[in-house]
């Protein structure tokens, strides 16, 4: 392939496939988590549970995902990443089926733990694959496409899930995820190539030593702390989003799919642009502007009372654009921190920190937010202030990440790029 052709073709055909399949895979994982938010308004009265108990349903997934990520971290760089991906994805699908057949709160809680044990590792393996296969200069674009899965889960998954839940019962969305997820697993098994270039970098450390080494690096620890703050916003506001919308903002259950759908369409449209902008003007700059937008919109959104539908849609679109900007740019930046031989372990620990922090955030949100006898939720403005505070601190932490990554680039530490087979 000539230099001119290389310049014209940013990604190879196989790389395009990898981006697409990882985006679809993330869609399944994220939908499995996000579908609980709109189902909250259905689950709490049907299962006769409180906001705190529902918060624990969300947290159970996060805590188990965090624990399994830590346990898997030591082994993450010892195996072909494709095999790791398929193993944990199979367990995730089994957990999703268990959610689909759970008849009550205790069994649903247990099913969420099983799903989290396997699902929590998948994201870290996916990001390790991205870091292995794509240069830092194009990683913002890749993250932009992969993070579109959040928006796609809103446009396609959440409205469909709500319709299924309204027409049948709350188990139906989990059946939808499981059936669709099996088809995705087959595509990965057949078409994804082995990803084992990292195995050629010899390491004498065993799994336990590898995990300890990952935790002992001061640069890694700073990145993990930053990730823990990044998780706060989404995990705090998301679990009670549907209950807040229907009880405080005056929406009906039939209007929720419209809000999620329109917001998701805008997120899908802006995702690739945000990723490209991150590569062009700087990932930290995009993160800062996204954070400012998100802070302003959270401050407007959380104290709202009964609100017209079109106003709520406009607020949601702008707020999620800010959140997407933070996610895409921060994921691309943090991916440059670990050394090639530590990527799998770093991503596993980073995902675990994110999940555990999110679990703590969800549990705290369940304590702050209290449902009154008339159905209204109290404490949402306070929740907004906590989220805003974490976002401000995260901007300072991401500044350090940005400076550290610039130092890495100056040292010309290049990522592993697995060549495309002939």
Contact 359, 63 (CB under 8 A): yes
Nearest by Cα to 364 from 115, 116, 56: 56
Q: What is the DSSP string of 188-220?
A: HHHHPPP--GGGGS-----HHHHHHHHHH-HHH
3-state DSSP assignment of residue 326 = helix
Beta strands 370-371 and 377-378, pairing class:
antiparallel
Q: How far apart are CA 288 and CA 218, in angstroms?
A: 24
pLDDT given for residue 420 in this prediction = 46
CA distance 54 to 347: 28
- Residue 260 burial (CB count, 10 A): 29
- pLDDT score, position 335: 79
pLDDT for res 7 = 43
Give domain status of residue 310, yes or no. Answer: yes
Count of the separate structural domains present in the chain: 1
In this predicted structure, what is the pLDDT of residue 355?
A: 72
Give buried/exposed letters for 270-281 (b at 16+ CB in 10 A, else e): bbbebbebbbee
Residue 126 covered by a domain: yes
Give CA–CA dist 130/332, Å, rounded. 10
Positions in the chain short of pLDDT 70: 1-9, 37-38, 74, 76-77, 150-151, 154-158, 198-211, 233-235, 239, 411-422
At how many degrees (to 10) do helices 343-368 and 218-237 cross?
40
CATH number for position 342: 1.20.1250.20
297: in domain: yes
Helix/strand/coil for 378: strand
Whether the full predicted model's pTM is greater than 0.85, yes or no, is no
**Residue 2 included in any domain:** no
pLDDT at 155: 65
Whether residue 41 contacts residue 242, with contact meaning beta carbons closer than 8 Å, is answered with yes
Answer yes or no: is 27 within a domain.
Answer: yes
112 domain residue, yes or no = yes
Three-point CA angle 121, 124, 128, nearest 5°: 140
d(CA 341, CA 271): 30
Are 51 and 376 in contact by the 8 Å Cβ rule? The answer is no
Residue 417 has a pLDDT of 46
Which residues, 6 or more positions from 313, have their beta carbon under 8 angstroms from its beta carbon?
258, 259, 262, 263
The alpha carbon dihedral of 268, 406, 2, 13 has a sign of: negative
How many CB atoms sit inside 10 A of residue 101's CB? 12
Question: Who's near 291: CB < 8 A, 6+ residues apart?
Answer: 322, 325, 326, 391, 392, 394, 395
CB 284 within 8 A of CB 331: no
The two structure tokens encoding residue 379: 């404490």
113 in a structural domain = yes
Q: How many of the other CB atoms lie within 10 Å of CB of 345?
A: 27
pLDDT tens, residue by residue, 318-346 = 988 888 888 888 888 887 888 777 777 78
Query: Taking a C-beta distance cutoff of 8 angstroms, is the pair 334, 350 a contact?
Result: yes
* Nearest alpha carbon to residue 357 among 382, 329, 390, 324: 390
**Residue 4 resides in a domain:** no
d(CA 125, CA 121): 6
d(Cα 212, Cα 158) in Å, to the nearest integer? 39
Backbone angles phi, psi at 370, to 5 degrees: -125, 135
Give the chain's radius of gyration (CA, Å). Answer: 21
Distances (CA, A) of 130 to 54, 83, 267, 376: 34, 15, 21, 43
pLDDT of residue 93: 94
- What is the extent of the structural domain holding 366? 12-198+210-410
Residue 378 bridge partners (DSSP) = 370
């Amino acid at each position: 392939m000539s230099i001119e052709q290389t310049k014209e073709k940013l990604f190879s055909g196989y790389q395009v496939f990898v981006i697409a399949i990882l985006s679809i895979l993330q869609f399944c994982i994220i939908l499995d988590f996000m579908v609980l938010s709109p189902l909250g308004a259905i689950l709490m009265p049907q299962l006769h549970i409180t906001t705190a108990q529902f918060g624990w349903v969300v947290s159970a997934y996060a805590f188990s995902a965090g624990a399994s990520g830590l346990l898997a971290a030591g082994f993450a760089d010892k195996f072909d990443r494709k095999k790791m991906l398929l193993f944990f994805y199979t367990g995730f699908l089994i957990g999703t089926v268990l959610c689909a057949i759970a008849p009550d709160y205790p069994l649903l809680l247990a099913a969420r733990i099983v799903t989290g044990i396997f699902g929590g590792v998948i994201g870290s393996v996916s990001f390790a694959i991205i870091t292995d296969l794509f240069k830092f200069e194009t990683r913002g674009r890749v993250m932009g496409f992969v993070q579109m899965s959040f928006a796609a889960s809103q446009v396609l998954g959440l409205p469909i899930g709500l319709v299924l839940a309204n027409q049948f019962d709350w188990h139906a969305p989990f059946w939808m995820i499981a059936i669709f997820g099996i088809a995705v697993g087959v595509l990965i098994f057949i078409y994804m190539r082995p990803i084992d270039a990292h195995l050629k970098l010899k390491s004498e450390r065993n799994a336990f030593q590898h995990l300890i080494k990952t935790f002992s690096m001061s640069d890694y620890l700073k990145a993990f702390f930053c990730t823990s703050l990044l998780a706060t916003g989404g995990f705090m506001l998301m679990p009670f989003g549907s209950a807040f919308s229907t009880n405080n903002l005056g929406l009906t259950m039939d209007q929720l799919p419209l809000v999620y759908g329109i917001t998701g369409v805008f997120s899908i449209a802006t995702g690739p642009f945000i990723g490209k902008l991150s590569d062009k003007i700087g990932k930290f700059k995009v993160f800062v502007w996204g954070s400012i937008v998100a802070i302003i919109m959270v401050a407007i959104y959380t104290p709202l009372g009964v609100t017209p539908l079109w106003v709520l849609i406009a607020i949601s679109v702008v707020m999620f654009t800010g959140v997407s900007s933070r996610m895409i740019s921060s994921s691309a930046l943090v991916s440059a921190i670990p050394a090639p031989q530590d990527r799998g372990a770093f991503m596993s620990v980073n995902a675990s920190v994110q999940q555990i922090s999110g679990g703590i955030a969800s549990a705290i949100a369940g304590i702050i937010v209290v449902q009154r006898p008339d159905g209204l939720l109290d404490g949402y403005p306070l929740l907004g202030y906590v989220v805003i505070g974490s976002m401000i601190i995260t901007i300072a932490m991401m500044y350090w990440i940005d400076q550290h990554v610039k130092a890495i680039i100056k040292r010309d530490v290049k990522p592993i790029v697995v060549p495309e087979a002939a």
